[in-house]
Amino acid sequence: MDIFLAVIGLLLAFIGIIGAFLPVLPGPLTGWVGLLVLHLSDTVPMNWVFLGITLAIAILIWVLDYIIPAMGTKKFGGSKYGVIGTTIGLIIGLLSPIPLGFLIGAFVGAFVGEMIYDSKDRKRATKAAFGSFLGFLTSAFLKFIVATVFLGLYVMKLWEYREIFGL
């Protein structure tokens, strides 16, 4: 059972990294659940301080994920349409066969959203789309860093108890 939990936890930690870029997955929170699953095994002792600190970080990043793109959009004169367009463009870009389509899709989506909001001012829409895109990239980068650190912590903890897991 412990090996099963270790595999599930590792899978969740990897999904956390993927979730750094997908808006439907809470990346760091998923990675944290992977850490929790490892600590729920009988092999690895429960460390409440470690789990509490990592949970607080995951929740902080989850909250910032909603604030940072909005801040980027507002700082560059954008609207909620730009934020919504960024998310829709990101999803369409992820599904497209274009390399790095999620980046192109996020920017184009933000631009289209801003043009829907105010079709007369292309310069403002371009500036706002750039702000929305920059906010998305900043947020995704933070989530990626935290999810990667969680994966690293997971691997370190798994390595610490490797003999018990038969590694």
Low-confidence ranges of the chain (pLDDT < 50): none
Res 31: pLDDT: 95
CB within 8 A of 22, min separation 6: which ones?
94
Rounded Cα distance between 5 and 57, Å, is 23
Per residue in 62-97, pLDDT tens? 888 878 877 877 788 778 888 788 888 888 887 888
Residue with the two structure tokens 């600590």:
39
The whole-number pLDDT of residue 167 equals: 67
Domain residue spans of the chain: 2-165
Q: What is the value of pTM for the model shown?
A: 0.80
CA dihedral of 92, 93, 95, 101, whole degrees rounded to 10: 170
Q: Which helix (H) or strand (E) holds 74?
A: helix 48-75
Read off the DSSP letter of residue 99. Answer: T
pLDDT at 51: 95
CA triplet 146, 87, 126: central angle to 5 degrees?
A: 110
Which pLDDT score, from 0 to 100, does residue 76 have? 84
